């Protein structure tokens, strides 16, 4: 089967935040002492992009960028002029689609109205607010630096600046949270009329403060009740679930995340950033990640910024593909599997048949889609495709 080059995105990692949250396992670093070298970091990002384009050659050059995502850390610590500098530099190196979605993650405690105006002028057309909860006691327990009132004010300020495409991040199953509390968070979010909501369960990740000293969390049954009740309320309000933890108004799905779930390509720039690129000529899917610590990333040159780089083994491609595609509620066309992996459908015939027999996947030869049961036991479904390639 021929491997076809899918859409291409940019992920840009901004590693600093005001302080590290106790549940966070991302590559983020709290501010200490002198302010970080923000301007130098942006120039290093562009040098990083140059190096990737030189290494990946025709597999990357000339392909239009369909989305850009500034993640972190807290990207809103970077001034609008620096975001503008990066975007101008990236556009000089790669064509951007005319409707390119450009998202900036923001912390409600680190932005003010003037910055929203500046981000919009720089070309950022979508904001993602890390709110997590509208309960001040829960926010303090989560180590957040903002209050519920500050979160609401920040969202309204962005809307006043002209932003019409906003995501709010919410968590549920928080320490000692009740079902009523989880629903109240959803109601407060809906009152702000975002176009998109990310709603996901707090989990204890290894090497975090919460993992070392676990707070009292709701049990699995209580967490499931919260998930179902919040899903129903979001659906009632017109937010359709399209991914395990993502809900959107009509036409407002996150294109960048969709590209991940559909096994698209993305260049990863910044400390600890991961990327994936399909080389149609070579018939390979390649992953590359950058060195994690910001200081090491800044001090490195060229190849030294690369923390690792390898083609995905053919027998790992089915698992990697399903790990993404089956998160989508509507699934993906069956034909996409061959086009995005270069493998024939026969490579997954056995686990596919078993997953359908168990009621995990819909009986549809034209589409890969998990049933409601499969969505609930998604990890088991995905693991069925591990090391099963023919």
- 304 against 111, higher pLDDT: 304
SS3 16: strand
**Residue 276: inside a domain, yes or no?**
no
Domain boundary residue, one of 233, 259, 285? 259
**What pLDDT, in 10s, does the model give residues 123-159?**
999 999 999 999 999 999 999 999 999 999 999 999 9
**What pLDDT, in 10s, does the model give residues 272-290?**
999 999 998 889 999 999 9
Residue-number span of the structural domain to which 352 is assigned: 317-390
Q: Which of 169, 74, 161, 77 is nearest to 121 (CA)?
A: 161
> 222-232: string of b/e by CB count within 10 Å (b at 16+)?
bbeebbebbee
The Cβ-side half-sphere exposure at 124, using a 13 Å CA radius, reads 33
CATH code, domain carrying 389: 1.10.10.920
pLDDT value at 33 more than 90: no
Q: Which of 244, 148, 126 is nearest to 196 (CA)?
A: 126
DSSP 310-341: EEPPGGGHHHHHHHHHTTBTT-EEHHHHHHHH
pLDDT value at 111 more than 80: no
**What pLDDT, in 10s, does the model give residues 191-241?**
999 999 999 999 999 999 999 999 999 999 999 999 999 999 999 999 999
Specify the pLDDT at position 301.
86
H and E: helices and strands count for the chain: 15, 16
**Residue 136: inside a domain, yes or no?**
yes
**Residue 297: inside a domain, yes or no?**
no
Specify the pLDDT at position 344.
94
pLDDT value at 389 more than 50: no
**Residue 153: inside a domain, yes or no?**
yes
Specify the pLDDT at position 109.
87
How many domains is the chain partitioned into structurally? Answer: 2
Domain boundary residue, one of 221, 240, 259? 259
Percentage of residues in the chain having pLDDT higher than 70: 98
Residue carrying structure tokens 């302010």: 35
pLDDT band at 329; cut points 50, 70, 90: very high
**Residue 363: inside a domain, yes or no?**
yes
């Amino acid at each position: 089967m021929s491997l076809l080059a899918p859409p291409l995105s940019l992920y840009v990692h901004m590693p600093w935040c005001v302080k590290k949250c106790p549940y966070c396992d991302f590559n983020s670093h709290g501010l200490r002492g002198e302010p970080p070298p923000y301007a130098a970091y942006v120039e290093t990002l562009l040098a990083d992009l140059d190096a990737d384009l030189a290494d990946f050659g025709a597999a990357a050059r000339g392909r239009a960028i369909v989305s850009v995502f500034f993640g972190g850390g807290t990207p809103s610590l970077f001034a609008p002029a620096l975001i503008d500098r990066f975007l101008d530099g990236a556009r000089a190196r790669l064509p951007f689609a005319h409707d390119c979605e450009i998202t900036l993650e923001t912390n409600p405690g680190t932005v003010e109205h003037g910055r929203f105006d500046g981000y919009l002028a720089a070309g950022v057309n979508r904001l993602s607010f890390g709110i997590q909860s509208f309960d001040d006691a829960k926010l303090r327990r989560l180590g957040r630096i903002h209050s519920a009132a500050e979160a609401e004010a920040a969202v309204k300020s962005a809307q006043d600046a002209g932003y019409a495409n906003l995501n709010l991040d919410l968590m549920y199953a928080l320490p000692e949270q009740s079902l009523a509390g989880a629903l109240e968070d959803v109601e407060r979010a809906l009152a702000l009329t975002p176009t998109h909501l990310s709603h996901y369960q707090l989990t204890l990740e290894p090497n975090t403060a919460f993992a070392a000293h676990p707070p009292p969390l709701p049990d699995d049954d209580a967490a499931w009740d919260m998930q179902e009740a919040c899903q129903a309320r979001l659906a009632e309000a017109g937010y359709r679930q399209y991914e395990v933890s993502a809900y959107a108004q009509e036409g407002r799905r996150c294109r960048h995340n969709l590209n991940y779930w559909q096994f698209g390509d993305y260049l990863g720039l910044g400390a600890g950033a991961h990327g994936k690129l399909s080389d149609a000529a070579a018939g390979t899917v390649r992953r590359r990640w950058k060195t994690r610590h910001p200081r090491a990333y800044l001090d490195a040159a060229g190849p030294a910024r690369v923390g690792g780089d390898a083609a995905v083994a053919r027998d790992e491609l089915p698992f990697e593909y399903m790990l993404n595609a089956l998160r989508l509620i509507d699934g993906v066309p069956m034909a996409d599997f061959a086009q995005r992996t270069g493998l024939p459908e026969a490579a997954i015939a056995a686990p596919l048949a078993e997953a359908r027999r168990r009621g995990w996947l819909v009986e549809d030869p034209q589409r890969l889609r998990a049933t409601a049961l499969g969505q609930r036991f998604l990890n088991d479904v995905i693991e069925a495709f591990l090391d099963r390639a023919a």
